[in-house]
Amino acid sequence: MADSNFPRVHVGEWAESILDWLTTNAAGLFDAIKMATGWLVESLDSVLLAPTPIVVIIVVTALAWLVRSWQFAIATALGFALVASMDQWHNAMLTLSLVIIAVVVAVIIAVPIGIAAARSDGVSTAIRPLLDFMQTMPAFVYLIPAIIFFGVGAVPGVFATVIFSLPPGVRFTELGIRQVDSETVEAGAAFGATQSQILRGIQIPLAIPTIMAGITQVIMLALSMAVIAGMVGADGLGKEVVSAISTQNIPQGVEAGLGVVVLAIFLDRVSVALGNSGDYPSSLYRLIRKRLQRS
């Protein structure tokens, strides 16, 4: 029964018809995506879970010191040790692999679209409503087509995570390139540089801090969606949280949640440091560079 005098518009049924058509006519494509994504996730799972936690903790600690500071390195070691001590290591590595795969795919798609939008007002105008739609649609809705196309497991989790986390990568890439000083671009053109050379040699390098800020947003959204993906059977911390909610298991939920926090802080700080390396003079990279410049 209608709630008003307006005629009933069957948007939901139309969307269902589109999904049915895609499922019927693009089944081969979805099978190929499922096979490739599943292989990537399983391979990265194997890489992250093959060494002992001590080895992984040493690697992430070294990375934290290399790009940021020794203080952050200590915090990283303590955080990952806490994850291992809570017996959430296996789940944390599964979540980390899902996030890494989703972020890599999202960045591969988002950066070229952002570049195209920065260089064409028409492209920017065309994709802006789509990005608004993708960012405002509730995250849970993305799980519906993901399940229809790929069933349950890690693959629909990656699919939904890519769709949900992609818009900031496009927006920040476009913003970063548009903010490059026009006189610098004109100077490059005056020296005979082609549009491709200006893009690769001037615009992208100067836009890197903004692009990395966008990638940081992609990582954070991917991590939040990876937790929600636990509802469709994606193994990891998200599945632990969903299980804790359904069984009202407070310790399980708190420990899985803390694991997510540790991963979020580590990925956020590392990605920010990679985009603004000059802001961290105590990083191992900066110290080595100073030593080499003096010698």
Does domain 26-293 fall under CATH 3.30.70.260? My reply is no
The single-letter DSSP state of residue 282 is T
Sign of CA dihedral 114, 119, 121, 123: negative
Q: What is the pLDDT of residue 60?
A: 94
Q: What is the pLDDT of residue 138?
A: 83
> In terms of Cα–Cα distance, which of 10, 69, 33 is closest to 273?
69
Under the banding of pLDDT at 50, 70 and 90, the label for residue 117 is very high
Average pLDDT over residues 45-55: 92
Q: pLDDT for 253-267, tens place per residue?
A: 999 999 999 998 998
> In terms of Cα–Cα distance, which of 229, 225, 256 is closest to 240?
256
Q: What is the pLDDT of residue 3?
A: 60
3-class SS at 146?
helix
Residue 84: count other Cβ atoms within 10 Å of its Cβ.
Answer: 17
- Please report where in the chains the tokens 């580590």 appear, as a residue: 266
C-alpha dist (Å) from residue 186 to 45, 194, 196, 240: 47, 11, 14, 54
| Residue predicted with more confidence, 135 or 59 | 59
Q: List the chain domain ranges.
A: 26-293
Q: pLDDT for 135-192, tens place per residue?
A: 888 877 888 888 888 888 888 888 888 888 899 999 999 999 998 888 888 888 888 8
- Residue 9 burial (C-beta neighbours within 10 Å; 0-12, 13-18, 19+): exposed
Under the banding of pLDDT at 50, 70 and 90, the label for residue 29 is confident
